[in-house]
Chain A
Amino acid sequence: MRAIYLILSRELFVRVKTKQFWILSILGPVLMSAFIAVPIIIAKMDDSTQTIWVQDDAQLWKQQLPSREKLLLIPAPLKGQALIDSLAQDENLGLLTVTAEVFGKDPGKGLKFTSQSPMSLKVQDYLKENISKTVEDKKLEENGVSRAKLDSLKTPDFEFQSVKPEGSSQSSEKAFGLASVGSMLMYFFILIYGMQVLRGVSEEKSNRIMEVLISSVQPFQLMMGKILGIAATALLQFLIWIGLTMIVITLVLPAFLGDAAAGSANATPQSMSPDALSAMADVPGFLLVFFFYFIFGFLTYAALFAAIGSAVDQEQDAQQLTFPVTIPIIIAFVLAQTAVAQPHSATAFWSSMIPLTAPVVMMARFAYDAVAPWELALSMVTMVLSFVFFTYISARIYRIGVLMYGKKVTLKEIARWAFKK
């Protein structure tokens, strides 16, 4: 035990001391927060006021032109050459010409925008909406229907509510966010840190320190120490991510963005909305399940990566051999997308029972509350069993692999090592 502990601490400290660890630790939450913040910040920073002159030949707007904050619409004060000269001189100036064709079948034919730079998407969206509404109003008026009357006849927008049999309900938008973030993080951490195990093992081999190490400790202790040390590093990083993301979202963003955040909320991607992320805090059960699946999923995959790493002399030789190990986790990620869409389907069920795909898929299903307690229990048992099985197999490969030099090993040979006496 002491040997495993010593190896574990070395792996952890060597990694935590590197710059990469801290860069990734800080970059992760920053990137996540940036997803949310950047659109808002851009919207906020763009505070120059744009002026559009309007030549309303169609008499679309009877009284006031629809100006708003940072967008000024005024009737064109000039005509002819003077107008063209002004437009050429001022980049922020545009001319909107509206003709009667705007009431026709193709309203776009009645709208012309003259400017040095094209109209921004936001202004376009705003004007489009306003114009189509105004045109609609005009047509309604001609037909003797009021806007209020029409609104009262329309069915309002609605959303589905997922309700559990017991009666409690959960917003499916929150579940969607939790499912996507959870399964993506699981996939990401297992793959990135699994590869680190492979790299670490083959590094010890190509460094030739392996021989010294296995004359001090048993190969199994060395393998487990390394895997557990890297698992500890990953968990530490994950905790830093959670902590920092919480801080950024709850403290920094609101202070930084103020009320703008509320105004532009619809500009943020749905899955990354603060609402969905704060849902993580609402669900400690989700975190517990995440940690369980991360630990056993990682240990299973890490054992396989360690076995591959032990079989090659150089990390570069490993690529071909890692394929059979990376394929299941990639498949799991694809299946998780299906599980997000249909958490109760047979595909989702079985892929959350098979240990190599379960960690990623289960995150998606669990977020939707689509897992019965017996399913969760069964899946957890298979996870533990698979950890024992794959660690046993990998330790047998590892023990032989670490002494093999100067020979390109095939998968067939590795399989033979696993079952040799």
Chain B
Amino acid sequence: MNLIELRNIHKSFEAHKALNGVSFSIPKGSIFGLLGPNGAGKTTSIRIINQIIAPDEGEVLFEGRPIRREDIQKVGYLPEERGLYKKMNIADQVIYLGQLKGLSKSEATHRCKQWFERFDLQKWWNKNVADLSKGMQQKVQFIATILHEPDLVILDEPFSGFDPVNAEILKEEILNLKQRGATILFSSHRMESVETLCDSLVMIHQSKVVLSGTTREIRQAHKSSEIELVFEGNTPDWMQGFSVAQTEDGNKVVLPMAEHSVNEWLQKALQSQLTIHSCRELIPGLNEIFIQIVQNSAL
């Protein structure tokens, strides 16, 4: 079952074509990555899902039927450009934003208290945004995004501005949301930041979908069938044809799996009395896959 489905969406701004026949579906309860470089059309896609703008062509389905205005209350949105009122205390803001999403005042207040405790923000309850560190502001904004327990959580570049400790807390919370049954849409131009989290993804480049599928499928489909061996000892004769690089970890060599299997290569190495530090199959990251695709499409 798909929570959201975009079908053949077209959208132009004046002469610029922002989306050119984009289609993708977000399975319910999954973490979904919307990837692509700046200007590819990610924000436009998100705005269409948020019903901030309407597509010129194509349709958006929510739980299998055309999306309706009131579905907006089931969506939580953390935009890339974070923003809160500077001169309003943070608890009031979070409660206000929750109310705009349909919560009653008492319910919003209750949940806000719980979240503030969870993120250790209680003593900041009455402070203004200007008094908070950037990391705390991010937390407040995150709370405002999910206070109404949306079915769909849209996070645009969620990790930018978080230090490693807080990024880890955020990651945990995202996984919690997933466990609770929420669907999460991640948008990022930094592919590697989300690849470990995403169940499936779509990659947009120049207003078109260039790649889609589950993260595992995509990486398997793009693996180069090579292994990387790190070892110590004299380079044996049979390695003559391969380039051996000397690194801090030891000597590094890339061997093609077309000739021998991993086991056979290892056997050879052991016979040559090499000390083996590591051996792994080379599976490209999303970044490399993306660059590969862009280069191929440019040819």
Q: Using CB atoms and an 8 Å cutoff, list the residues of chain A in contact with chain B.
A: 3, 6-7, 10, 14, 18, 203-204, 207-218, 403
Contacts and interface: CB of A to CB of B under 8 A. Distances in A.
A207 B141 CA distance: 13
Given A209-B83, A210-B83, 18 more contacts: A6-B96, A6-B99, A6-B100, A14-B85, A14-B87, A204-B85, A207-B86, A208-B82, A209-B84, A212-B77, A212-B97, A215-B50, A215-B51, A215-B77, A216-B72, A216-B100, A217-B100, A403-B47
A207 B100 contact: no
Interface in B261-288: none
B31 interface: no
B86 A403 contact: no
Interface in B117-174: 144-145
B47 to A, nearest CB: 8
A142 B96 CA distance: 89
A7 B99 CA distance: 10
Contacts of A216: 72-73, 97, 100-101
A214 B52 contact: yes
Which of A212, A216, A217: most chain B Cβ within 10 A? A212
11 contacts: A6-B100, A208-B81, A209-B84, A211-B77, A211-B81, A211-B83, A212-B79, A216-B72, A216-B100, A216-B101, A217-B100
Given A216-B97, A403-B53, A208 B77 contact: no
B74 to A, nearest CB: 12
Contacts of A217: 100
A218 B96 CA distance: 16
Contact of B85 (A207, A215, A403): A207
Interface residues of B, number: 26
Contacts of B239: none
B83 A212 contact: yes
Nearest to A206: B83
Contacts, number: 55
Interface string B87-98: 110000000110
**A-B pairs with lowest CB-CB distance, top 10:** A208-B83, A209-B83, A208-B81, A216-B100, A211-B79, A215-B50, A215-B77, A207-B83, A6-B99, A214-B52
B187 to A, nearest CB: 13
B75 interface: yes
Contacts of A18: 87
Contacts of A7: 100
A14 B100 contact: no
A13 B83 CA distance: 20
Interface in B49-78: 50-53, 69, 72-73, 75, 77
A14 B51 CA distance: 28
Contacts of B77: 211-212, 215
Contacts of A211: 52, 77, 79, 81, 83
A398 to B, nearest CB: 13
B100 A213 contact: yes
A416 to B, nearest CB: 10
A207 B53 CA distance: 20
Nearest to A208: B83
Nearest to B86: A207
B56 to A, nearest CB: 11
Given A207-B85, A208-B79, A10 B96 contact: yes
A211 B51 CA distance: 11
A203 B129 CA distance: 14
Nearest to A205: B83
Contacts of B69: 218
B68 to A, nearest CB: 13
Contact of A3 (B52, B82, B100): B100
A211 B52 CA distance: 9
A41 B26 CA distance: 77
Contacts of A207: 83-86
Contacts of A14: 85, 87-88
A43 B47 CA distance: 68
Which of A211, A214, A217: most chain B Cβ within 10 A? A211
A334 B115 CA distance: 56
A274 B52 CA distance: 55
Which of B75, B81, B99, B100: most chain A Cβ within 10 A? B100
A312 B116 CA distance: 35
B129 to A, nearest CB: 9
A325 B37 CA distance: 41
Nearest to B82: A208
A210 B97 CA distance: 12
A6 B105 CA distance: 10
A382 B97 CA distance: 37
Contacts of A10: 88, 96
Nearest to A217: B100
A211 B157 CA distance: 15
B100 A209 contact: no
Contacts of B88: 10, 14
A203 B100 CA distance: 19
A210 B72 CA distance: 15
A16 to B, nearest CB: 13
A215 B75 contact: yes
Given A14-B88, A209-B84, A215 B144 contact: no
A14 B88 CA distance: 7
A3 B84 CA distance: 18
